[in-house]
Amino acid sequence: MIPMDLNHIFTQFYAVYGSLINFIGINSLLAISLYVTLSAGQLSLGNAAFAGIGGYTAGILTMYLNVPYIVALFAAALMSGAIAMILGFPVLRLRGVFLAIATLAFGEVVRILAINLQITGGAEGLTPIPDKTQAWMIFTALALTGYFMAVLRRSRIGWSFASIREDETAAKAMGINTTWYKTLAFTIGAMIAGLAGAMSAHLNYIITPGEFGFSAAVQLLIFNIVGGTRVWYGPILGAALLTALPEILRGFGVTAGPVRMGVNGFILLMVILFLPNGLVSLFSHNKD
């Protein structure tokens, strides 16, 4: 009888919080996509746009061409990855804030294209995208991506990313082809973002140009800062906390409005001031 009860509790819980849980999964995927580029020391604000490209690609494929969902997901990741690779070679010559500005501009180009093209449904967005995404798919993708990032760290690619992040000039002198590895990080990140965007589109039935603009790009960065970028589960932690925050605050009687934004900002500020390596540093045993 007890398993029945548990099952019942779980179903009820999911009925209430299902969409929140799904959003946590999608946002975690998006946060990891940025984490990949950050782990190679590159600050990209283009990952939201890559999610948009993935969403539109998959949506168009399933809506107009009746392509199977799983194929559409792969196509979305490949499309975002291909565009990232083409964009990467010129853009990754820029460092730090200049790279951020260039990728931000790319995001605007994508948004304006999405508004003006016929096939993307213009300003009203693309709808109705078939409802195909289920929670287990999101969390399978998240688990696989997390695992990939966790083991990548110990591979040749992971060591190269870490070296570039720490000191790009020294990395070059050690024989690391920095241009190639930076482009690789940018491309892997874009592919994960594209996948997340495609899943999100098939979860919400709709994708609009505004969804993946500047504020979304910055939100991904905040997930990473709050969670921490030293280990792969940092961005997941940040994404989960900040996505669930409105619900948690509702429990305390705070609804939408300035207080909620304030709490959001307060958490970010506290993390930057007191936990510069993010919330993960609370759990890590490493000193300093």
Partner 1 sequence: MALLEIRSIIRMFGGLCALNGVDFSVEEGEIHGLIGPNGAGKTTLLNILSGMAPPSSGQVQFAGRDIHALPAYQVASLGVARTFQNIRLFPAMTCLENVIAGQHLTASRPLLPRLLQLPSAWRLDHEYEKDARSTLARVGLENRARVRAQSLSYGERRRLEIARALAARPRLLLLDEPVAGMRQGEVTQVAELIRILAGEGMTILLIEHNMSFVMTLCSRITVLNFGQVIATGTPDTVSRHPHVIEAYLGVDKSS
> Which residues here bind partner 1, judged by CB under 8 A?
148, 151-152, 154-157, 159-160, 162-163, 166-167, 169-170, 172-178, 288
Min dist. Cβ of residue 152 to partner 1 (A): 7
For residues 268 and 41, give the distance between their C-alpha atoms in angstroms, rounded to a whole number: 21
Burial class, 143, CB count within 10 angstroms (exposed 0-12 / middle 13-18 / buried 19+): exposed
Between 154 and 253, CB nearer to partner 1: 154
Between 170 and 269, CB nearer to partner 1: 170
Min dist. Cβ of residue 84 to partner 1 (A): 19
Between 157 and 249, CB nearer to partner 1: 157
Min dist. Cβ of residue 188 to partner 1 (A): 11
Between 161 and 212, CB nearer to partner 1: 161
* Tokens at 160, concatenated: 């190269």
Min dist. Cβ of residue 237 to partner 1 (A): 19
For residues 134 and 151, give the distance between their C-alpha atoms in angstroms, rounded to a whole number: 26
Between 175 and 251, CB nearer to partner 1: 175
For residues 84 and 187, give the distance between their C-alpha atoms in angstroms, rounded to a whole number: 5
For residues 71 and 58, give the distance between their C-alpha atoms in angstroms, rounded to a whole number: 9
Q: How many CB atoms lie within 10 A of CB 137?
A: 18
* Tokens at 283, concatenated: 């759990």
Min dist. Cβ of residue 16 to partner 1 (A): 37
Q: What angle do CA 141, 126, 69 make, to 5 degrees?
A: 35
The Cα-based distances of 163 to 156, 158, 168, 184, 189 in angstroms read 11, 9, 7, 14, 18
Between 2 and 173, CB nearer to partner 1: 173
Min dist. Cβ of residue 151 to partner 1 (A): 5
Residue in the block written with tokens 């948009």? 52
